[in-house]
Amino acid sequence: MNSTDFLQIARQSFRITVGAAASLVETLQDPQQRESTFSEFKTDFEQQVQQWASKGEVTEREARQMLERMFSQQNSPAGSEATPTEDSAKPSSTGVQSEIQDLTATVVALRQELEELRQSQSQ
């Protein structure tokens, strides 16, 4: 296994985790979708993993774009004036940090839940 294969596996695993987290948040917000998602999960786990990977890829791309915009705004020259829409769209650093911590906690919880599901299915 070369480093490119390992990187692809790691990236795919990350995307699955992010996609699962995004799906979980959506599911928790909508009771009808919750029942639908759980029944789908029971019927076809492999298909669900592929959907999570796709959703994780999109979420990763969106997060990367958001971070790039934030960093480019921070690195812009001090003399440049921000437009009102740019200023209002710029999230506070404490809010972003809090959101990142919340998402990290969600990902950790999802990983634990996934591991528990794998263990229960193997028994």
Q: Which domain holds residue 18?
A: 3-122
Please count the structural domains in the chain.
1
**What DSSP string describes 82-116?**
PPHHHHHHSPPHHHHHHHHHHHHHHHHHHHHHHHH
Query: What is the structure's pLDDT at 77?
Result: 63
Q: Which amino acid is at 58?
A: V
Rounded CA-CA distance 28/72 in Å is 34
Alpha-helical (H) ranges within the chain are 3-29, 31-43, 45-74, 84-89, 93-122
Tell me the per-residue pLDDT of 66-104, one tens digit each, with 9 for 90 and over: 888 888 888 776 545 444 444 444 555 677 777 888 888
More confident residue, 10 or 97: 10
Q: Please check the confidence at residue 27 and state whether its pLDDT lies above 60.
A: yes
Q: Has residue 53 got a pLDDT over 80?
A: yes
